[in-house]
Amino acid sequence: MKRNTVALILASLMLLTVCAGCNAGTVDIFDMAGAESAEYDSSFDTGGAVDSFDLNDGAFIDIGPELVPLAGEPAFSIPVPSAPGKNVAKNAKAEIDYSNAADGYVMAKYIPAATKPLKVVVISPNKSQYAYDLKQGVYAVFPLSDGNGKYQIAVGEVVEGGKMAAAQSVVVDVKLSDEFAPFIRPNQFVNYTKDSKAVKKAEELVKNSKTNLDKVTAIYTYVKNNFKYDTDLASNVKAGYVPNIDDVLAKGKGICFDYAAVTVAMLRSQGVATKMVFGYTGKTYHAWISVYSKELGWVDGIVQFDGKSWKLMDPTFASTAGTKGAGEVAKYIGDGKNYEAKLYY
């Protein structure tokens, strides 16, 4: 029990320091009234025909300012996302393949050459809005990370006023194959393959691990001890920044988004269901993680117990524990009451 407790401590909620260059803001979505929704049929027996929004009059999504955040255990594997075309909403401009919605993701592609930035917007059943960049002509993976229910998905170009003109869109009623499905696969923000250097490093780190908590301990400790905060990147990071997992690993430094993305990629690749969480500490935007434990389920507020009190752990702050101001950081972290989760990837 004591060993598991120690491992659980090390799993900690990975709030990963301040990300400079972030700006707050809520987003308004286009009017969904009257839009026909299509129930996702995981058996594919119906052929997957979907009625999407009527785009003839032009549907616009206000994507707002982007923020960059400075039951049994799931089976171990590295699932490879795909776009088989069994359930797809498409026209001459864009495709949204939701054939694998039950596995917690969709794939989208914008087809013609574009002169404006491209976006994918996913509006979850709880009305959280996720906005992603999209490269022209290339399928990308987008998670359905807020559980079962109706997801509104749109692809289009960014126009004046911070809005997206939807080229194709669809509503899919998702029934996940299991609760872990969105959190055991790569996606645009946590992008890796079996050949990624980060995955190879993770395999090396967990080779002697007997439990998932042992894996979390090994990977967390490595990140904590070998990564440094990138103050230059924090000062210059742009909206739309997405970590390259292997580049971050090679540099051994990054902002909170980088720390979280690398750690999540390593853990997921080794069969540990892991959420990357974006949210606030006070008014500051951050990224951290939540891991799954068979004993405790999803651990969204993991804390450290020093024999007298409970405190959140933070690997970025932990890696600079001896620096000036570390005591104030620890005081602010406190019991976690300052943290508010917003989005999950």
Same domain, 173 and 209: no
Residues 209 and 312 in one domain: yes
Structural domain including 84 reads 38-62+80-178
Among 178, 209, 242, give the residue marking a domain's end. Answer: 178
Please check whether residues 193 and 159 belong to one and the same domain: no
Alpha-carbon distance 64 to 26, whole Å? 7
Cα–Cα distance measured from residue 198 to residue 269, given in angstroms and rounded to the nearest whole number: 9
Examine the fold and report which residue of 159, 178, 197 is the final residue of a domain before the chain moves on.
Answer: 178
Q: Alpha helices of the chain — where are they, by DSSP H?
A: 2-11, 197-205, 212-226, 231-236, 245-251, 256-269, 315-319, 326-333
The count of other CB atoms within 10 Å of the CB of residue 291 is: 28
CATH code assigned at 174: 2.60.40.10
Residue range 123-129: mean pLDDT, rounded? 94
For the ranges 20-24, 181-185, 207-211, 232-236, the lowest mean pLDDT is seen at: 20-24
268 shares its domain with 165? no
Shared domain for 132 and 195, answered yes or no, is: no
339 and 268 within one domain:
yes
Whole-number percent of the chain with pLDDT over 90: 43
Whether 339 and 191 share a structural domain: yes
Q: Assess if residue 292 is contained within a domain.
A: yes
Predicted pLDDT of residue 64: 66
pTM of the predicted structure, to 2 decimals: 0.76
Burial class (CB in 10 A: 0-12, 13-18, 19+), 308: exposed
- Contact 94/137 with Cβ under 8 angstroms? no
List pLDDT tens digits, range 139-154.
999 999 999 999 999 9
Residue 33 lies in a domain: no
Predicted local distance difference test score (pLDDT) of residue 39: 35
Same domain assignment for residues 197 and 275: yes
Of 155, 126, 147, 149, nearest to 52 by C-alpha is 155
> Whole-angstrom Cα distance, residue 257 to residue 241?
9
Confidence at residue 238, expressed as pLDDT on a 0 to 100 scale: 87
Domain count, the chain: 2
83-93 pLDDT, tens digit each: 999 999 999 99
User: For residue 47, which phi and psi values (nearest 5 degrees)?
Assistant: 90, -10
Do 109 and 137 belong to one domain? yes
Q: Same structural domain for residues 254 and 202?
A: yes
